[in-house]
Amino acid sequence: MLNDNHLSGSIPSEMGMLSSLVHLNLAANNLNGSIPIWLRQCENLLELNLSVNRLSGGIPSEVGSLSFLQILDLSQNFLIGKIPKAVGNLKSLEKLNLSHNKLFGFFPSTFDDMLSLTSVDVSDNQLEGPLPDNKAFREASFEAFRNNKGLCGNITGLEVCSSKLSSNVDRKKNSKIVIATVAPILFTLLLVFVVFWILSSSKRRERNTENTPRVVASDSLFEICNYDDKMYENIVEATEEFDSKYCIGVGGYGTVYRAELSDGQIVAVKKLHPLPEGGVGDQKAFNSEIRALTEIRHRNILKLYGFCSHPQHLILVYEFLEGGSLEKILRIDEQAMEFDWIKRVNVVKGMANAVAYMHHDCSPPMVHRDISSKNILLDSEYEAHVADFGAARLLKPDSSNWTSFKGTFGYTAPELAYTMQVNEKCDVFSFGVVTLETLMGRHPGDIISFLSSSVSSLTPSCSSSAPFNQLLLKALLDQRLPSPREQIAAEVVSVVKLASLCLHATPQSRPSMEQVSQELSTQNPPLVKQFHTITIGQLFDSSCYTSTLGEAVSHNNNRPTV
């Protein structure tokens, strides 16, 4: 077992010599490159787990030669392409996980014969068409297929396949027989035209070199974007030259547009703002965002699909989430009323997990620096995805100081008003603001300074005389929803407390996002006091309202206990 070991580079070819190897688990490392074809030499493998890495390219058909394989997990990588027909030859396979990649196309017909399969997950890809006629697929939940391009089948949450679609799939299978019959006849004619085409296209490329927008990519980044030279033209056409009617948001570094590409895929296109000085700053922001995003693989962080550069524009292409931004949902009453307390607490947990990942699981650690409700996007099931890494900077000795202040007003840490020293604690503060906004249904405004002051000079007392401390907690919450009850009420109290601790005036005294994430994942005991009677002053005195909810904030000059 070599999982969770911070391994990097490509999978060493020497492993192909281990013909007696039974279990190969390289999950949760930083491996890149493609899945090696020499894996077929490990013919006795029962388990192959390469999940949560940075592997790219397609799934090699050689995987299908591992006839004893029972578990195949390739999830959370950058794999692209169609699922090889050979995968269906794994007759002993019991568990298959291909989720969180960029696989597209239809399931091979060979999947119908995978009778040993009991568990499957292909969520978060670009797959389409009917599900295989297989027990594992028939009995799987919708979660195993969500966020794909157009899967259909008799699963609650998926569209029922039309007879036309089914017949189209059958015709595709039959067309292979026709192709095999006429191919030899056409082959000779094809050869005649190939030479002509190569010569003419070569001349055409020479004429168009100066006028063709270029796709900018290093080797690894090109594997991520996988777009051809018509990428820019496709985007311009889909957005009608970036018409404002396609605009879905404006961030600190760019404007975001909704674009439906020629293949039917809907993406979010972020056009970085130009700078009057000639664009040098934009190029730096573009490169910073690319570097940051290529290091990230997390379910609560928005996926980068592709990018391109043009003399007039720098463009990033993201996953499109139909739910829109947190800010938009809170602003529209109808949507806010459907955004109940359970969903809101789960959004806070998702945000915390994403930022904790950036701070504590990325190497070197990464600061977002522009966390706001506009940069938290929600999918159709209200799962949070942190977006807009235009201000992201890797924490290196020469990059912690900023000569110009960006970010979003109302969310930035107060210390940035007099110092450009950026670190994780700036994100912690912004997280606290967005968390309060999520529960209050509006930006907390002056309440930020009140809570910051209360936390920074904390002397818990159930009989505090300060007017703000006498304010009922329920009065701060979004009045468009009924008051939270029972267990969710205890969670709301815990979340407000944690958000307040994140607003501490002294950066060193704010909790780490790892602490916040861990605290949010713990089970909260029931409230001792009725929720509607709890005041802000009682929030940090656990004896006033709960038996064991957290610990009282302790001042050790540096960090509170959460």
Helix ranges (DSSP H) in 316-392 = 326-331, 333-338, 341-360
As given in the structure block, the two tokens for residue 169 are 């799939």
Closest CA to 346 of 172, 144, 491: 491
**DSSP string covering 231-299:** HHHHHHHHTTTT-GGGEEEE-SSEEEEEEE-TTS-EEEEEEEPP-TT-SHHHHHHHHHHHHHHHT---T
Annotated catalytic residue within 73, 370, 388, 541: 370
What is the torsion angle, in degrees rounded to the nearest 10, for the CA atoms of residue 220, residue 221, residue 223 and residue 225?
170
Is residue 228 among the annotated active site residues? no
Query: What are 125's two structure tokens?
Result: 């890809």
* Residue 73 identity: D
Reference 529, options 520, 537, 519; nearest CA is 537
- Asked if 259 and 266 count as a contact pair (C-beta separation under 8 A), the reply is yes
Residue 271, annotated ligand binder? yes
CA quadruple 393, 398, 404, 409: dihedral positive or negative? positive
Query: Coil, helix or strand for 97?
Result: strand
Q: Which two tokens stand for residue 350?
A: 């998702």
Q: At what angle do helices 424-440 and 486-501 cross, to 10 degrees?
A: 140
Q: Residue 513 to residues 323, 449, 493, 516, 518: CA-CA distances in angstroms?
A: 25, 21, 18, 5, 8
- With contact defined as beta carbons under 8 Å apart, do 14 and 38 qualify? no
- Quote the tokens at residue 170: 């059958």
Q: 399-428 burial string, b = 16+ CB within 10 Å, else e?
A: eeebeeeebbeebbbebbeeeeebbbbbbb
Pair type for strands 254-260 and 247-250? antiparallel
Q: Is-contact 560 511, C-beta < 8 A?
A: yes
Bridge-based pairing state of the strands 102-105 and 126-130: parallel
Q: Point out the annotated binding site.
A: 271
Catalytic residues: 370
Q: Point out the annotated binding site for ATP.
A: 271
